[in-house]
Structure 1
């Protein structure tokens, strides 16, 4: 029997309690790699709960990479604090600059445009009406951001990402890249490792600050960061391959960061949009002293709101805050005030639920259309999926989509040294009819 205790009076669901306690047992070393867990039926009987509780907990931990179900054998631990791995040294390159957007396109099937439910427009308008009658600050606002907003964000991050934060630990930013711009000057001299393929804006931001970019293989375990002073990753939903970083890989990366005295920069850009299991917990939960956490409202609200948040270890937090105080840096007060209303009114929760339902319906449609021609790079989650196929085929499909009035990104524009090719197909910022038209153009080209 596992040494776990479930509290039926707690507001936290029983499957989440069980998953959290098993995760803690692995991190504490009580459970090690290769240990066999009780069957879901046996554990349910031991705990006096329905089997659905233990099955949901095991499914969640399997999705996160802590456990592995072996057919006919049982469920085993796949990650522990003692897990050690090593890889070849990362390759250093300068990212290629993306090509400019062609003119005359009607719709973008990209990774950054979320679904906006028009039925929620009254709440959106109400938020901005409240901004119009609220008294703005008489001078420069708190560089950390509005206190009321930081309080609301702390509550939300605790509920959705498992981060126990005091509002003063949060710095409101003007988005993810603004958070990076705030962090980079405070790091000691040295290069920054960025996932490859990866978020193009992150790599470009690092270069803009005069730092070298080291390519961090996005689908391999990282056991050595070399002389990198930071590693930028998207562990909950790797951008753009869609992979969830397994628990063992998370621990290996943290251990590599400790050996290099580097920080891990966690970009948690769309973790709420999982369809199969609960959102994967934030990596920052594993080591708050080593991980810089970046969040954004771009995927849950709209990118043009230009708001995000940063949580850094105490020493970096103080350095960032000091510089922002001197330079009067900060996110726009009207946007902060509007987001506060959206959070307080429950609008954001409704928007996330609505978008998740839409994505859960659209993702299989994309998969059904693309599966005969390409290989899915990662699990279906979020507002896009990535498909591996030869560059010549990907370009032919991209050109056919352009001719039909749609922009679809090539995977090669996200890659630097990895050499991966294919298509990255977003489905958040289009209508159902537009998605069908774009897929018809793509599959028509691939099937020709």
Structure 2
């Protein structure tokens, strides 16, 4: 029996993408004449497709003369496939005209796409949250109600977002974060990433000075680099941005900060530094972009009011539901100073008209009923338990050989390994992945002043307390077998 057209089409599309990718790598010299291509079995497993799909891609390469293949042997790149020999119809992906300066800067950035990853037994990827935590029944009911409310109109919406959601967010932000703002200052966006992109588009010209934390959220840095900003990285300690190191002599247009929970080190910026940061912003004419990416999660500290509450003229507040509901929803929001309302709204309209309407209405319904805040309180308790389990397990396994920072808030911690130099991070991560453990280095989040010792950003919101304990123990076994790290005979 033949396959349904849809399935055949998807398989054909995947095979063509694999064929084009391999052909491009051959043309660029990644695979030189005489080199073996990965086996169809290994490539299928790595890409998460069927072996038949990969074989179809290989067959196309063979038919065009790029590789030779015999039954039961590897596929070998031919002499025809030397770099620079692609021509005619095989040059379809070559650029006939130059890219924009923005596109050139963009292509130079180390941006990776989110892809389906090979399943790991224990994955400490930061930013992930447990699928089981999503309030499926509540969300389904809210979506059904939203659809019924809007059954007579499914047209384009106001670019700033649903009026119902913005009104509900106004009340929620006052109750939960102490923020007082008007409804029209709130602009709903497709996640905090779009909020940062809008800030760059509206406020940053090529060559403008932008202040970033060191270390910093990589995608914020990429946004500013793509915009052509002159980036100045200002160091952070365990209490956040070192405000005294801010440049005062030249104009800056923007400073991106995470004062409620510095990413990734986890510091909470003291009030004295907040006051100094605001004074600096006025002195150099800069706006402050305050990213409150996981402000709902506080454990051992009393929350300090957001910067926006202290100054509504220079601070742009960024919030999201990615850490409370799901990053898949792509729902976030900006609160902007009054003079910026119109320009941000117009920029949002040009970017994507408006964020998804039904999802906005569903979130408004959850906020109106109090269901969202009950869910947040539940998640705060669950993640406090996870946090305690991870810290206890790491302490038991490693003792004084590690320093754990950023534990008072958020959904991740940073672990510094005293006995391992930063140069060993890549080998350590590779060894852990071979053991089924996903760990992620902190060093790529630094722009200039790289750390001397190995550090990991360990997320805990996607694992159960038991998984966190077992994952930490297995990680310890991997690390204690790692040559640069001396075994602790008294651990546990």
Counterpart check, 1:228 vs 2:252:
yes
Relative contact order higher in (CA < 8 Å, ≥ 6 apart): 1
1:128 aligned onto 2:153: no
Are 1:217 and 2:231 an aligned pair? Answer: no
Q: Are the structure 2 counterparts of residues 156 and 276 from structure 1 closer, same or farther at C-alpha, using a change threshold of 3 Å?
A: same
Q: Which residue of 2 aligns with 1:315?
A: 339
1:203 aligned to 221, 225, 238, which one?
Answer: 221
Tell me the residue number matched to 1:113: 128
RMSD: 2.5
CA 1:354–1:401 in 2, change beyond 3 Å: closer, same or farther? Answer: farther
Whether the 8 Å contact between 1:191 and 1:228 is mirrored in structure 2 is yes
1:176 equivalent in structure 2: 192
- Name 2:464's counterpart in structure 1: 431
C-alpha distance after superposition, 1:312-346 (max 9, x if no partner):
11222221123334566321112211211221232
Residue number in structure 1 paired with 2:435:
404
Matched-pair contact (CA < 8 Å) for 1:95–1:203: no
SS of 1:430's equivalent? Answer: coil
The answer (yes or no) to whether the contact 2:393–2:469 under 8 Å persists in 1 is no
Aligned counterpart in structure 2 of residue 355 of structure 1, from 379, 383, 397 = 379
Shift of 1:283: 1.2
State the Cα distance separating 1:103 from its structure 2 match: 4.5
Of 157-166 and 218-227, deviating more is: 218-227
CA deviation after TM superposition for structure 1 residue 358, in Å: 1.8
**Residue segments in structure 2 that go unaligned for 5+ positions in a row:** 1-106, 482-492
Partner of residue 249, structure 1 = 273
Q: Which residue of 2 aligns with 1:51?
A: none
Normalising by structure 1, we get a TM-score of 0.73
Counterpart check, 1:381 vs 2:433: no
Give 1:157 deviation, angstroms: 0.4
Provide the rounded CA distance (Å) in 2 between the counterparts of 1:155 and 1:262: 28
The answer on whether the counterparts of 1:116 and 1:351 sit within 8 Å (CA) in structure 2 is no
Q: Go from structure 1 to structure 2 and tell me whether the alpha carbon gap of 1:119 and 1:241 turns closer, same or farther (over 3 Å shift).
A: closer
2:178–2:309 CA contact under 8 A, matched in 1: yes
Superposed CA deviations along residues 37-86 of structure 1, whole A, max 9, x for unmatched, are: xxxxxxxxxxxxxxxxxxxxxxxxxxxxxxxxxxxxxxxxxxxxxxxxxx
- Closer/same/farther in 2, CA of residues 408 and 96 from structure 1, 3 Å limit: farther
Matches within 5 A, 1:289-300: 289-300=313-324
- Computing the radius of gyration from Cα coordinates, the structure with the larger value is 2
1:443 matched residue in structure 2: 476
Query: Aligned in 2, Cα 1:130/1:406: closer, same or farther, shift over 3 Å?
Result: farther
CA contact (8 A) 2:386 2:464 kept: no
